Amino acid sequence: MTELPNNFEQLKSLDRKALKQVYASGTCPNLDDLKGTAKGVVLDPKWFDYIRLWRGKHFNSSGAGEVKGKNILGIGLFSYQKYQFDVSIEKSLFGDRNIAYINHDYPVNPGWVRRFHDEMVELQPGFYLACSHYSLNNSLRYMSYFAFDFR
């Protein structure tokens, strides 16, 4: 793949194998760039985006490498922020590189939300791809690819 996708439609046209290749080509984001509201889309499994429950993330950056935020969820035309997270640069659990780790392990979040392990990379300035896993029985199981866009 010579040029990385730069919009949701390009990513939506890819299957899981191709998304994995694109993800592997992404770079570790600069945390100071994660600020404001990013529109989001679940790419795989494809059926999940049809219900439009998850709509993105809102990030609050301190400008000193500290980023916190909440997920944006919705039903119909109504949307709201729920489930806190923070973001840090960590070594990927799935490869020898740094990624932005989205940590949902906050006491205010329900137990099932705290089990998500999301790793994200930047594809283009302001455009990100993440891979989500779920901790179950001491192992991480693939859940989804999702993307978000600040532009």
**CA-based angle 85:87:91, to the nearest 5?**
130
Q: Is position 3 within any domain?
A: no
pLDDT tens by residue, the chain, 151 residues: 568 999 999 999 999 999 999 999 999 999 999 999 999 999 997 766 667 788 999 999 887 778 999 999 998 889 999 999 999 999 999 999 999 999 999 999 999 999 999 999 999 999 999 999 999 998 999 999 999 999 9
| Model pTM above 0.85 | yes
- Specify the CATH number for the domain of residue 130: 2.40.128.580
| Integer Cα distance of 6 and 125 in angstroms | 9
The number of folded domains in the chain is 1
Give the E-state strand segments of the chain in sequence order.
Answer: 36-44, 54-61, 67-75, 78-91, 98-103, 116-124, 127-136, 139-149
Q: Is position 52 within any domain?
A: yes
**Range of 61's domain?**
8-149
Q: Is position 65 within any domain?
A: yes
